[in-house]
Amino acid sequence: MPRRPTKTPPARGRKRTGPWRRSSTRSSPAATPFAGSEPDTPAKDPRLPVTSSSVSAGHPHRPDRDRGAPAGTAIRDGDVRAGLREANRSPIAKLGQAPSPHSRAPETPPGAANPSAACNPAEGEAQPTTQDWMRTLTRYRQPVPARSVLELAVTLVPFVAIWAVAWCMLSISAALALAIALANAAFLVRLFMIQHDCGHGSLFRDRRLCDWIGRGLGVLTLTPYDVWKRTHAIHHATTGNLDRRGVGDIPTLTVREYAEKGWLGRSLYRLLRQPVIMFGVVPFYTFFLQNRLPVHLMRAGWRYWLSAMGTNAAIGLVLAAIVRLGGWDVLLFVFLPTMLLAAIVGMWFFYVQHQFEETSWENDEDWNIQEAAFHGSSHYALPGVLCWITGNIGVHHVHHLASRIPFYRLGEVVRDHDLLEWSKRITIWESLRCARLHLWDENRQRLVSFTEARAIPA
């Protein structure tokens, strides 16, 4: 693939704005193709938005996202957060240029209007609305069956082959077997991303085919597919909502909530937020222990218990065969290292995707699914090899905008639309700072560290 010419990134302020202007029409989340309103979303769950009450035509705390408001005017008088948004507005409008000559725009039928043009305005033109983006991104949602089969094959076959090589090397050198097993974690991460696409129904058009592939991969990733699919749908439908935290997200307190807790509560939260715990203990607990019992879905129906118990039984058979054929050394030096490293990598990515300084959290009355989908998700800019390993999941803001886009087409979206390429962009170096951000400051509308929180007046 030819390398794209180097681009000059936009000027970066304290807060970058999104690549759209607010539409003047009110629309129900359930009527739009955004994540959380997809057909696989469990509509009966009380956490999921099923009405348009949370979608407003203007946003009281984000004047930079309400293009109908006069420049320099906060929506609410005396609203400190609105003033900060206005003061820190960055020139995202200057990024609305035509696509790069090296980008590949989706084909447009003869005689049909090209919706992509609305999302690549010239300088000085109005920025695209959410409806513009919805129409444009819909064009990328169709999976290519042959490509999906190829992506699955070039991931699953090497994973099994490398795992077998590590097993054979164990008789020669335990250290060599361990090194090979750790390298194989890259393919396991990619298998999880393919399972993730199955959960969104984006790998193939046939939803049942996606589900059965996902269930099979769940045995390799130690993840009961139907349980994960349900909790992940809740995550998409409630991301960035302060009143609907607790399922499918990383525990996050506001500065006020943290201050109101007692000594024990603050100590436990600080312990959870320590990198060793967050990226060491939590991944182990999540994939090896929590996934074994769907306690949080105890009253949601038998399907989730069947998924968990069926996956557990299959994993048990695999482990029994490993011990029977290769002994405990294979389990300790080949199986566990691959699984644990893949879990750690997965946890880091999930953290960076939503736990960055300029993310978005709102109370229920100010929250809507479209803004949360974009403003609460990052674009983790990675080298090509890491993009391949992680299934382009770093393009997370686009994924949350339209979760039915296959992972192998996410790269096309950011190549075709510079606004999306540079919005919410975080480099690997910048992402390291995310591990020091722990609390949501509702006044300054950003994540802060414990040290910064102590400096905030009560």
Model confidence pLDDT, tens digit, residues 242-275: 999 988 889 999 999 999 999 999 999 999 999 9
Q: Which of left, alpha, beta for 455 (phi over 0: left; psi -120 to 50: alpha)?
A: alpha
Record the pTM.
Answer: 0.75
Please, are residues 187 and 155 in contact by the beta-carbon 8 Å criterion?
yes
Model confidence pLDDT, tens digit, residues 277-288: 999 999 999 999
Model confidence pLDDT, tens digit, residues 308-338: 999 999 999 999 999 999 899 999 999 999 9
Mean pLDDT along residues 380-407: 93
How far apart CA 371 and CA 369 sit, in angstroms, is: 6
Mean pLDDT along residues 111-120: 45
Mean pLDDT along residues 357-362: 92
What pLDDT does 3 receive?
46
SS3 for 350?
helix
The rounded percent of the chain whose pLDDT value lies above 90 is 56
Q: Please, which pLDDT band fits residue 301 given cuts at 50, 70 and 90?
A: confident
Please, are residues 81 and 366 in contact by the beta-carbon 8 Å criterion?
no
Q: Is the pLDDT of residue 230 over 90?
A: yes
Q: Is the pLDDT of residue 156 over 60?
A: yes
Residues 6 or more apart whose Cβ sits within 8 Å of residue 13 = 88, 89, 90
What pLDDT does 418 receive?
78
- Most confident range (mean pLDDT) of 12-26, 82-96, 202-216, 285-299 is 202-216
* Count of alpha carbons within 13 angstroms of residue 266, beta-carbon side: 12
Model confidence pLDDT, tens digit, residues 413-433: 988 887 777 778 899 999 999
* Rg value, the chain, Cα: 23
List of long-range contacts for 308-311, beta carbons under 8 Å, 24+ apart:
308/224, 308/227, 310/215, 310/224, 311/215, 311/218, 311/219, 311/222, 311/223, 311/224, 311/225
E strand or H helix at 253, and its extent?
A: strand 253-254
